[in-house]
Amino acid sequence: DNSNIFDINEGPYPSPLQGFEDVSDAMNGADSDRTREAWIPSEKTRRDLIMAATSSQTSFTPDKDNLTMPGVIMEEEMVDGVTQLVKQLFGEAEASHRRVLTANDVSQDERGLRELIQAECYRAAVNLTGRLLTIFGQGLGRQGQPTRHSPHSVQLWFTRFCLLVKLGALQIVESEASVWWDLDKPDLYYQFYPELYGGKLGTMVPFQMRILLGTLPAYLKNCTIALERLYSVLATVHKILHNLESGKSEDGSLIELSIRDREISKQVWSSREARVQHAIINVALMSKNYVLAIEIFQKLIEKNPSTNQKRALQSALGRVFLQMGDIMNAEKCFSKAKQLKRSKTGTLSSSTADIRELVDRGLVLVAQNKFEDAYEHFQKASLIEPTNVMVLNNMAVCLLYTGKLKEALNLLSSTVHSHPTLALQEPVLLNICTLFELGSSHMAQKEDLLRLVAKYRGDSFNVSCLKLSTKLNS
């Protein structure tokens, strides 16, 4: 049954890239704030850092095994698959009309990198990170060679890993990231370089990099290792929170913190605790470990002081119960989410269903195979947010399951043509192309979609979703 490929979209949560939705977030750089750069080194690393801080510059060199020695392993630069496919199907002349930035078109620095990321030219951005890392002595062929790190070079690696995960280049990330975990070697701390940073303490590693590399094995189908990594990060976060509660600084030293600084630090680290827990939920869902996912959701709901966030969490938990086929518990969660909305608003509008409530109800009706009723709920949601692609996609699914193939195709096609910058998403185009094939093979329509993609999308687009059988993706 072809229609099984065609899935209801449950919205942005839970997502395997939670926290990395906007790759440009990776570019915000390490804040020089003590709180954000705090970390508790392992005992072995702590001893090396004391040696580094107390020795003269030349007298202390740790074992090579105690150093982080990264290098680029990708020999050729990444190419734009859209341009290649256009060239193959329509010829050089049409391909030359595609306006897409490459690493050569921007300044060879962080500003150029931001420009490529904002234009969704992630392949070109990966190419530029490779060039910039070469300047730091961490380019091609340098893996396993001693090197010096700076917040800037570590940030470049984090950005590169984010981009490669986004592009699904998982084998490359795995090879390049293998020398980094557990992000605790002494050369990743400021105090390893006293001649550069004086008495500055802390890690150069952005916190989100720990979550990304902790989660990485799960993308490669090794969820057990991912959970071990994430729980080790969580254990350190809990130690930091305990230190702050006990009147110490984050790393356990007896530095005096003002009441305000201590409160800000507690907020930062409580938020980081929740981020790690979200990552654990995502890995649990990837491995269908629903018991673990539900347990952590319940902890998050219990601890969260914000009514809005509690409501979002109840709604997300309801969607997990739906994935399990447990409609009764899903409805209980959605009902609690609805009550939280009403207690929050306390006005006339609180009794009017908003988009979250309508989508939640629509998903329950889909689970009950009541596709016409579900369609009505998604349609009401689309009146509130006419450009919400997830809702329009769900409407198309309902039309398909009620035998209205043509209407489903018309809805998705008109969405893509009316809102190309929003709707030219790979899952939506995969659904359209699947619908084409349910009717009959529509090569011309698929080629029209490719032309739209060529006009509006950067090089990060994965052309395989267009299901155009060519030498390029066969």
**pLDDT recorded at residue 10:** 46
Q: Which of 366, 287, 379, 286 is nearest to 327 (CA)?
A: 366
What pLDDT, on a 0 to 100 scale, did the predictor assign at position 223? Answer: 96
| Residue-wise pLDDT tens digits, 193-225 | 988 988 889 999 999 999 999 999 999 999 999
The pLDDT of residue 32: 37
- How far is the C-alpha of 172 from the C-alpha of 389, rounded, in Å? 31
How many C-beta neighbours within 10 Å does residue 102 have? 17
**Percentage of residues in the chain having pLDDT higher than 90:** 74
Question: In 350-388, which positions are buried (b, 16+ CB within 10 angstroms) versus exposed (e)?
Answer: eeebebbbbbbbbbbbbbeeebeebbbbbbbbbeeeeeb
Give dist(CA 370, CA 378) in Å, integer: 12
- pLDDT over 70, % of the chain: 89
Mean pLDDT over 347-357 rounds to 73
Q: How far apart are CA 68 and CA 65, in angstroms?
A: 8
Mind listing the pLDDT tens digit for each residue in 371-388? 999 999 999 999 999 999
Over residues 109-159, the pLDDT tens digits come to: 999 999 999 999 999 999 999 999 999 999 999 999 999 999 999 999 999
The ranges assigned to domains in the chain are 206-303, 383-473
Q: What is the pLDDT of residues 97-106, one digit of tens each?
A: 999 999 999 9
Predicted confidence at residue 383, as pLDDT, reads 95
Least confident of 47-61, 74-88, 162-176: 47-61
What per-residue string of b and e applies to 304-336 under the rule 16 or more CB within 10 Å gives b? beeeeebbbbbbbbbbbbbbeebbeebbebbeb
* Residue 30 C-alpha from the chain's centroid: 18
Q: Which fold has domain 383-473?
A: 1.25.40
Secondary structure of residue 193 in the 3-state scheme: coil
Q: Give, in order, the Cα–Cα distances in Å from 270 to each of 19, 140, 261, 418.
A: 15, 39, 14, 42
Model confidence pLDDT, tens digit, residues 252-285? 998 888 898 899 999 999 989 999 999 999 999 9
Least confident range from 5-19, 126-140, 237-251, 408-422: namely: 5-19
Q: What is the mean pLDDT of the chain?
A: 88
Amino acid 443: pLDDT: 86
Q: What mean pLDDT do residues 440-453 have? A: 88
pLDDT higher than 90, residue 465: yes
What pTM was estimated for this model as a whole?
A: 0.90
Nearest one of 201, 112, 203, 191 to 151, comparing CA atoms: 203
> Where are the extended beta strands (E) located within 59-131?
none
Q: Are 320 and 285 in contact (CB under 8 A)?
A: yes
